[in-house]
């Protein structure tokens, strides 16, 4: 039997693609405490119980010790089925291979490496003036801002591949079944200072020159600075799509765009793209899959609190 050929997918970024958007990078309470900044509070005025964990890369290897039986509340219920821990942490905080006292904590020793990929960690950045990041703008509603959209699909796919867990309990849900190449098309974010060719994550040639919002990329956040694409952008996307499906390199194409326009784009592609390959349009109704899952429940809980506003 002939070996199955690997599936190759092209991802083409479209404008205002909510599925390529992220919640604002807000300075964590861990960083705020470190720098003496006001802490994020809950509805009762107490510091938030948890920091948001954002996918980031380690700069150097780090060794951590994880408490045994902490991955699930019923692991310890089947303790006799488990092998021994790597060692024990004493009350003095020292790791030892052998238990010294009854109060020593059994742990697994893990070496985390930069090449492992992204890890969820507290966001430690502050603004240039030393203040905390509260949103994407340096001041509420101001003109100076960071971009929340990804400049192409590579980062969102990397986060899914690294962080998402399948029904079998494993990761690599995307890379295990397909090779995916990323094209910027009519992207929702851009490189305002340009980008050297060797740093590109998308399929493209040469350096990316400095890009301008509303000319080279189109995102709706920050909302007061949002821009939509001109009509000519649809022609560019159509030509890009036709080139991808005609090249013979791919088994299908994914197109991401904002939900208010993706149906019209799909209709246009259906009329004009000459191909038998599948073209899948993806949109989203909230910033990220984790937000879509939890925002409704979060809002219901806050609505039940007598003094809980829905905003921060």
Q: Is the predicted pLDDT of residue 304 greater than 90, yes or no?
A: no
Residue % of the chain over a pLDDT of 90: 87
The residue to which tokens 């199955």 are assigned: 4
- 48 lies in a domain? no
Q: Is the predicted pLDDT of residue 164 greater than 70, yes or no?
A: yes
Output 73 or 261, whichever has higher pLDDT: 73
Q: What is the structure's pLDDT at 3?
A: 56
Report the chain's C-alpha Rg in angstroms. Answer: 23
Output 261 or 301, whichever has higher pLDDT: 261
Q: Within this chain, do residues 244 and 95 fall inside the same structural domain, yes or no? A: no
Q: What integer is the mean pLDDT of 10-26? A: 95
Of 96-105, 240-249, 294-303, which gets the smallest average pLDDT? Answer: 294-303
Q: Is 187 exposed, middle or buried (0-12, 13-18, 19+ CB in 10 A)?
A: buried
Q: Within this chain, do residues 81 and 195 fall inside the same structural domain, yes or no? A: no
Strands 7-13 and 178-183: parallel
Q: Within this chain, do residues 193 and 290 fall inside the same structural domain, yes or no? A: yes
Domain limits for position 99: 62-112
CA proximity to 175, closest of 3, 5, 6: 6
CA dihedral 63, 65, 66, 68 (to 10 degrees): 140
Q: What is the structure's pLDDT at 68?
A: 98
Cα–Cα distance, 303 to 43 (Å, whole number): 11
Q: What is the structure's pLDDT at 6?
A: 82
Q: Is the predicted pLDDT of residue 307 greater than 80, yes or no?
A: no
Pair 120, 79: CB distance under 8 Å: no
Q: What is the structure's pLDDT at 295?
A: 43
Domains held by the chain: number: 2
Q: Within this chain, do residues 171 and 91 fall inside the same structural domain, yes or no? A: no
Residue % of the chain over a pLDDT of 70: 90
Beta bridge partners, 312, equal none
Q: Within this chain, do residues 290 and 229 fall inside the same structural domain, yes or no? A: yes
Q: Is the predicted pLDDT of residue 281 greater than 50, yes or no?
A: yes
Residue 9 per-residue DSSP state: E
pLDDT tens string 189-236: 999 999 999 999 999 999 999 999 999 999 999 999 999 999 999 999
Q: What integer is the mean pLDDT of 73-87? A: 98
Q: Within this chain, do residues 173 and 277 fall inside the same structural domain, yes or no? A: yes
Contacting residues for 12 by C-beta, under 8 A, at least 6 apart: 183, 185, 237, 240, 241, 244, 253, 254, 255, 256
Q: Within this chain, do residues 181 and 281 fall inside the same structural domain, yes or no? A: yes
Q: What integer is the mean pLDDT of 13-33? A: 96
Q: Which two tokens stand for residue 43?
A: 């509805």
Q: Residue 114: helix, strand or coil by DSSP?
A: helix
Beta bridge partners, 63, equal 111
Pair 128, 205: CB distance under 8 Å: no
Q: What integer is the mean pLDDT of 138-166? A: 96
Q: Enter the pTM of the model.
A: 0.87
Q: Within this chain, do residues 69 and 12 fall inside the same structural domain, yes or no? A: no
- 118 lies in a domain? no
- 195 lies in a domain? yes
């Amino acid at each position: 039997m002939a070996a199955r050929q690997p599936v190759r997918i092209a991802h083409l970024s479209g404008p205002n693609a909510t599925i390529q958007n992220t919640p604002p990078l807000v300075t964590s309470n861990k960083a705020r405490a470190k720098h003496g900044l006001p802490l994020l509070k809950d509805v009762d005025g107490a510091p938030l119980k948890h920091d948001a964990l954002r996918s980031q890369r380690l700069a150097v290897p780090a060794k951590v010790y994880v408490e045994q039986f902490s991955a699930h509340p019923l692991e310890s219920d089947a303790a006799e089925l488990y092998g021994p821990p790597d060692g024990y942490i004493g009350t003095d905080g020292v790791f030892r291979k052998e238990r010294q006292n009854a109060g020593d904590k059994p742990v697994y020793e893990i070496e985390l490496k930069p090449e492992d990929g992204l890890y969820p960690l507290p966001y430690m950045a502050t603004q240039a003036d030393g203040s905390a990041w509260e949103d994407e703008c340096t001041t509420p509603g101001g003109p100076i801002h960071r971009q929340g959209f990804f400049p192409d699909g590579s980062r969102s796919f990397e986060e899914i591949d690294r962080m998402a867990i399948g029904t079998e309990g494993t990761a690599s849900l995307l890379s295990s079944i397909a090779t995916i190449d990323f094209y910027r098309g009519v992207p929702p974010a851009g490189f305002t200072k340009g980008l050297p060719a060797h740093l590109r994550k998308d399929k493209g040639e040469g350096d990316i020159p400095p890009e301008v919002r509303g000319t080279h990329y189109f995102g709706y956040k920050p909302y007061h600075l949002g821009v939509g694409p001109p009509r000519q952008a649809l022609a560019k996307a159509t030509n890009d799509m036709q080139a991808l499906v005609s090249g013979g390199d791919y088994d299908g194409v994914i197109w991401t765009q904002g939900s208010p326009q993706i149906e019209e784009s799909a209709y246009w592609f259906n009329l004009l793209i000459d191909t038998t390959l599948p073209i899948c349009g993806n949109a989203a109704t909230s910033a990220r899959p984790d937000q879509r899952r939890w925002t409704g429940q979060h809002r219901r809980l806050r609505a039940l609190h007598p003094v809980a506003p829905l905003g921060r």
